[in-house]
Chain A
Amino acid sequence: GAVVSQHPSWVICKSGTSVKIECRSLDFQATTMFWYRQFPKQSLMLMATSNEGSKATYEQGVEKDKFLINHASLTLSTLTVTSAHPEDSSFYICSAAPPGQGVNEQYFGPGTRLTVT
């Protein structure tokens, strides 16, 4: 099956700094990737849709200037959490689906645990 990787798997940063998380599709090209956030004991909440070569589409309530998304190639999307605060501490997960097959199941990355101190 298709593989999606994320890097780093976990990161600790100080309040006010920025953190970049990478999402890669390893064996397929993805024009669209999705970024989710999951707080402890809660479900995944879609943050934004990352579109290769164009601007990301953000869900209501998600600050686009705080969560910068760049989808510069067909296999890589990055999420940068700018000026991170403790309330941004969460589990960030990306997903993608191989193109050209209609509606597909999503392949999720292993997630990135962000802790802001």
Chain B
Amino acid sequence: SQKIEQNSEALNIQEGKTATLTCNYTNYSPAYLQWYRQDPGRGPVFLLLIRENEKEKRKERLKVTFDTTLKQSLFHITASQPADSATYLCALDEAAGNKLTFGGGTRVLVKP
């Protein structure tokens, strides 16, 4: 069966440290993988998109890697800040048609 797995346990991290989140998938062949941020009671906000032929993407303090052999994406928040506290969702797009399948999300709590 198809699965997208993110660590369901909350990630508690000290301000200034790097938070690393994982997204593992099985029985998918995504053309694209995206990461979103969701705050409580709000819709997700797009952060980064990485294509199947890309290994790494960066945007300010965010970095995403994509390993299609391991079927895994890593999402890094460097120099984390309390304002980064949120739930982070990975989403797969298999057919490049904007139809997304989401993982369960990982909650990040950055402590000052």
Contact = CB atoms under 8 A, between A and B. Distances in A.
Contacts of B100: 34, 44, 46, 95, 106
A110 B98 contact: no
A108 B104 contact: no
Contacts of B61: none
A12 B45 CA distance: 26
Q: Which of B31, B96, B105 has the most CB of A within 10 A?
A: B105
Q: Which of A42, A44, A108 has the most CB of B within 10 A?
A: A44
B74 interface: no
A1 to B, nearest CB: 8
B61 to A, nearest CB: 18
A32 interface: yes
Interface string A11-35: 0000000000000000000001010
Interface in B25-54: 31-32, 34, 36, 41-46, 49
A97 interface: yes
Interface string A86-97: 000001010101
B89 interface: yes
Interface residues of A, number: 25
A104 B102 CA distance: 16
B4 to A, nearest CB: 8
Interface string B100-111: 111111000000
Nearest to A6: B43
Contact of B98 (A4, A6, A42, A103): A103
B43 A43 contact: no
A102 B98 CA distance: 9
A76 to B, nearest CB: 17
Given A103-B49, A103-B96, A106-B98, 7 more contacts: A32-B98, A43-B103, A104-B98, A106-B34, A107-B46, A108-B43, A113-B41
30 contacts: A4-B43, A6-B43, A32-B98, A34-B99, A42-B104, A43-B89, A43-B102, A43-B103, A44-B100, A45-B102, A46-B100, A49-B99, A93-B43, A95-B43, A95-B100, A102-B96, A103-B31, A103-B32, A103-B49, A103-B96, A103-B98, A105-B46, A105-B49, A106-B34, A106-B46, A106-B100, A108-B44, A110-B42, A111-B41, A111-B42
